[in-house]
Amino acid sequence: MGRRAACTLLLMAAMASSLMACAPSQVAEHDAGAATGERGFGDIVADQRLRGRIQGYVLNDDELLDEANVTITVFNRIVLLTGEVPDREAGMRLAGFARGQDDVRFVYNELVVAELSSVMSRSRDRMINTAARTRLMTMADLPEDFDRERIRLVTERQRLYLLGRVTREEAEGITDALRRVRGVREVVRMFEYLD
């Protein structure tokens, strides 16, 4: 089986399993959390569908499939593109496709023109992300009822990207704590503010 076929099967399996795990009884939560930053069932499904469409574009673009390492993150219909592409045009093409989706609210194009990152570099990023997630989960100075699932952490090339809906005070506390995680070179805030 070729790389393209394997990637297509993997994408289809991931999308099918995520849709099968959906519980219809949660649909009413969709709009209820807008003011508090909570994510409802509808938000999660919309993000999964959007990510699937963008991933499908990558799988059908020979240059991106064979010569790029792209991570697609969708959170609250905001798209973050990170990783390496072979040239500027490839990155702009992918970002343009993402921006063209009807339900996208914003696209952050953080793709860099560079050689593909090594397995060691990607492993380091995963370790940093795990450490940052652990730090976020154990932060004592956030309100007791703060839903940490409102925050998405993405690490690429030792840059820690923060997405989600928070107050400005929460953003400052989270940023201060996570910039001290070992290995983090820079914290990039992409928060939506509730105040």
pLDDT tens digits along 65-78: 999 999 999 999 99
103 lies in the same domain as 21: yes
94 lies in the same domain as 77: yes
Residue type, 45: V
151 lies in the same domain as 63: no
pLDDT for the residue numbered 114: 96
In angstroms, the CA 163 to CA 7 distance is 26
66 lies in the same domain as 88: yes
Question: What is the torsion angle, in degrees rounded to the nearest 10, for the CA atoms of residue 167, residue 131, residue 129 and residue 125?
Answer: 140
pLDDT-derived band of residue 141, with 50, 70 and 90 as boundaries? confident
Name the token pair of 3.
């790389």
In angstroms, the CA 12 to CA 70 distance is 18
11 lies in the same domain as 104: yes
108 lies in the same domain as 126: no
Average pLDDT score over the chain: 85
pLDDT for the residue numbered 1: 53
pLDDT for the residue numbered 125: 98
pLDDT for the residue numbered 144: 83
Residue ending a domain, choose from 83, 113, 143: 113
Q: Is residue 121 within 8 Å of residue 10, measured between CB atoms?
A: no
pLDDT for the residue numbered 5: 52
18 lies in the same domain as 89: yes
Global pTM? 0.80
91 lies in the same domain as 137: no
**Rounded mean pLDDT of 102-113?**
96
pLDDT > 90 fraction of the chain, expressed in percent and rounded? 72
- Is pLDDT of 83 > 80? yes
Range of the domain at 129: 119-193
- Measured CA to CA in angstroms, residue 157 lies from 83, 151, 185 at distances of 8, 20, 9
Residue ending a domain, choose from 93, 113, 133: 113
- Is pLDDT of 35 > 60? no
The candidate with the shortest Cα–Cα distance to 107, out of 177, 57, 168, is 57
Compute the half-sphere exposure of residue 45: CA atoms within 13 Å on the CB side of its CA: 14
H or E stretch at 186: strand 186-193
| Count helices and strands in the chain by DSSP H and E runs | 6, 6
pLDDT > 70 fraction of the chain, expressed in percent and rounded? 81
Q: What is the largest CA-CA distance in the chain?
A: 51
